[in-house]
Amino acid sequence: MNFFEKWVSKSFKESFERDSEQQQIEPEIPLHTSLQDNIRDIKKTLGNSTDIVIREVRIGKSGDQLIGIVYTDGLADKSAITDFIMETLMLNIKGTRLDKKIQSSTNILQLLKDYALTIGDIKDVSDFKTLYNSVLSGETLILIDGHAEGLLASTRSWQDRGVTEPSAESVVRGPRESFSETMRTNTSLIRRKIKDPNLWLETRQIGRVTQTDVAIMFIKGIASDKIVDEVRARLDRIDIDGILESGYIEELIQDDTFTPFPTVFNTERPDVVAAELLEGKVAILIDGTPFVLVVPALLISFIHSPEDYYQRADISSLVRILRYIGAFISLLGPSLYVALTTFHPQMLPTAMLISIASQREGVPFPAFLEAMLMELAFEILREAGLRMPRTIGTALSVVGTLVIGQAAVEAGLVSAVMVIVVSLTAISGFVFPSYSMSSTIRMLRFPMIGLAATFGLFGIIVGLIALILHLCSLRTFGVPYMSPFAPLILTDQKDTILRFPRWALLSRPRLINEKNMIRVENELTQKLKRGE
């Protein structure tokens, strides 16, 4: 990594030398007393941006009190501003007792706050930094001439996609709602599922420029304090210009190891987050993305689907086993084919060997190259299918799978078995409920094919040993990635390869939380409690 660091620092130096024109707003700068000065400063700082609406009105009996209203068009709720701020200030208070008071009092701000503004959330503001933050996130600023303070009325309202069905993690049985881009919607979705006062939420802004809201959500008393502190510390460590998606945060807070495996879990389903919170994990919500991060993420959480818990225990156990088999095929399918056909034909039954050999008759590529080419073709198809306009997606899949596959076999460029192997592998790759894990496995497939092509099954076994070593070395927020397999925790095996019936899922996973272990209260738990 030495070389990498050097390269980064070199390019960094170059850009550092250029002078930055970006203005830095110091948090300490207080507001001016004069409204004109304030407005001038705001205009200057925001560069006269056209979506910033600045309105000066006069209120009071004689109309001598100058008031400035500032908001961002599109982010603030215009009707709310008209109904509850403008109308109240300019029309409703005329001639009332308040009107008189305003004239006599020096503390107009307090008066307005207490009597006039019929809006839920009002804050004081006295420095420019908060001012900009709030105005740019949709709040309405009310400045009063002669006061070095202003009011911020919460009028945030912008276009929201609404709660829709999850697109990446669909289930047959289970809730059909997914997170949207607005953080507040997302927190409400979770809060609706867990109505416990212990569900705590901490928000902070991350990103020097974007000032993105990032919230940590956990259930106090279930989540381990150690992990929560660790999450806080890691979030506070971030110093970056912008956060646009949860992927930014994921990369910045994950454990500092070089690994293809995701050590932070992401989901777009509120029910998954709720379930994880109940297991004692910590959720990180980021404004502007429908993906919520969950830490610590163990390997098994990427293989388990939320549906496992909605279906009958026996069925979901079988489905889980199926998923593990799928994972295995997805990782090793082509490499096993390459190893068996090029190094160990003695392992194939005679009839099968002859059949495969006859198909390979005339294929110009060695099996390794054939596998690599087919895998590559599949990856390209997959990527193209994702990127292309949805309307011609079907056309692509027809061309890709049917025409190319069929024609390649007919032309004798690839063998039919290879096509079967690659398709089987590709389909198996989709058994992972989590997209990030299936990408990892897909990526690891290639070195495995390489090992299989040089060392046969020996290469595959050695590769697997190395993979297991690597997995065992990983930690996610202090928790071993492979737990509860290694270190083996017998009580937690009830929800790993198999899912036990609900009455047996008595305790929360260890290592993640030390306290409040019992989930289900039934005769068994009580017996255990009494120490029988």
Q: Which of helix, strand or coil describes residue 255?
A: coil
Is 219 a binder of another protein (CB under 8 A)?
Answer: no
Stretch binding another protein (CB under 8 A), from 87-95, 235-243, 308-316, 472-480: 472-480
Give 458's contacts (C-beta < 8 A, 6+ positions apart).
none
Task: Pick between residue 84 and residue 368 the one whose CB is nearest to another protein.
Answer: 368
Site for another protein contains 334 (CB under 8 A): no
Taking residue 225's Cβ as centre, other Cβ atoms within 10 Å add up to 13
Choice between 17 and 361, CB closer to another protein: 361
The torsion angle over the Cα atoms of residues 385, 386, 388 and 390, rounded to 10 degrees, is: 90
Q: Under rule CB under 8 A, which residues in 86-145 are in contact with another protein? A: none
Residue 81 vs 482, nearer CB to another protein: 482
* CB neighbour class for 21 (10 Å; exposed up to 12, middle 13-18, buried from 19): exposed
Least distance in Å: CB of 270 to another protein?
33
Does 510 engage in binding with another protein (CB under 8 A)? no
Q: Does residue 251 touch another protein according to CB under 8 A?
A: no
Among 117, 472, 498, 504, binds another protein (CB under 8 A): 472
Classify residue 84 by burial, with Cβ atoms within 10 Å: 0-12, 13-18, 19+.
Answer: buried
Name the minimum Å distance from CB 40 to another protein: 52
Tell me if 23 contacts another protein by CB under 8 A.
Answer: no
Q: Pick the binder of another protein from 360, 442, 445, 499 (CB under 8 A).
A: 360
List the one residue out of 122, 123, 144 whose CA is nearest residue 65.
144
**Six token digits for residue 387:** 């990127």
The secondary structure of residue 244, as a DSSP letter, is -
* Least distance to another protein, CB of residue 228, Å: 25
Within 439-458, the residues that bind another protein by CB under 8 A are 447, 450-451, 453-458
* 347 near another protein, rule: CB under 8 A: yes
Residue 515 CB, shortest distance to another protein, in Å, is: 22
Give how many residues touch another protein by CB under 8 A: 54
Pairing of strands 52-59, 122-125: unpaired
Separation CA 129–CA 26 (nearest Å): 7
User: Cβ(149)–Cβ(32) under 8 Å?
Assistant: no
State CA 127 to chain mean position distance: 33
Token couple for 125: 């503001």
Q: Mutual orientation of helices 416-428 and 367-387 as an angle, nearest 10°? A: 50
In the list 346, 386, 390, 532, the residue contacting another protein (rule: CB under 8 A) is 346
Residue 482 as a binder of another protein (CB under 8 A): the answer is yes
Please say whether the beta carbons of 431 and 304 come within 8 A: no
Choose which of 84, 368, 378, 477 interacts with another protein (CB under 8 A). 368
493 touches another protein (CB under 8 A): no
How far is Cα 499 from Cα 505, in angstroms, rounded to an integer?
8
Contact letters (x/-) for another protein, 144-183, by CB under 8 A? ----------------------------------------
**Cis preceding-peptide flag for 447 (omega within 30 of 0):** no
Handedness of CA 236, 223, 434, 178 (dihedral sign): negative
**Min CB(308)–another protein separation in Å:** 22
Cα 315 to chain centroid, rounded: 29
Site for another protein in 255-274 (CB under 8 A): 257-258
**Of 37-56, which residues contact another protein (CB under 8 A)?**
none
Handedness of CA 217, 220, 222, 227 (dihedral sign): positive
Among 269, 459, 496, 508, binds another protein (CB under 8 A): 459
253 versus 286: smaller Cβ distance to another protein: 253
Candidate segments 62-70, 280-288, 303-311, 350-358, binder of another protein by CB under 8 A: 350-358
In degrees and rounded to multiples of 5, residue 125 shows phi and psi of -140, 140
CB of 343 to another protein, least distance (A): 6
> Residue 432 interacts with another protein (CB under 8 A)?
no
Alpha-carbon span 239 to 424, nearest angstrom: 44
**Is residue 348 within the footprint of another protein (CB under 8 A)?**
yes
**Token output for 426:** 């590709």
CB of 465 to another protein, least distance (A): 6
Binding site for another protein (CB under 8 A): 1-2, 257-258, 341-350, 353-363, 366-368, 447, 450-451, 453-459, 461-462, 465-466, 468-473, 480, 482, 485-488
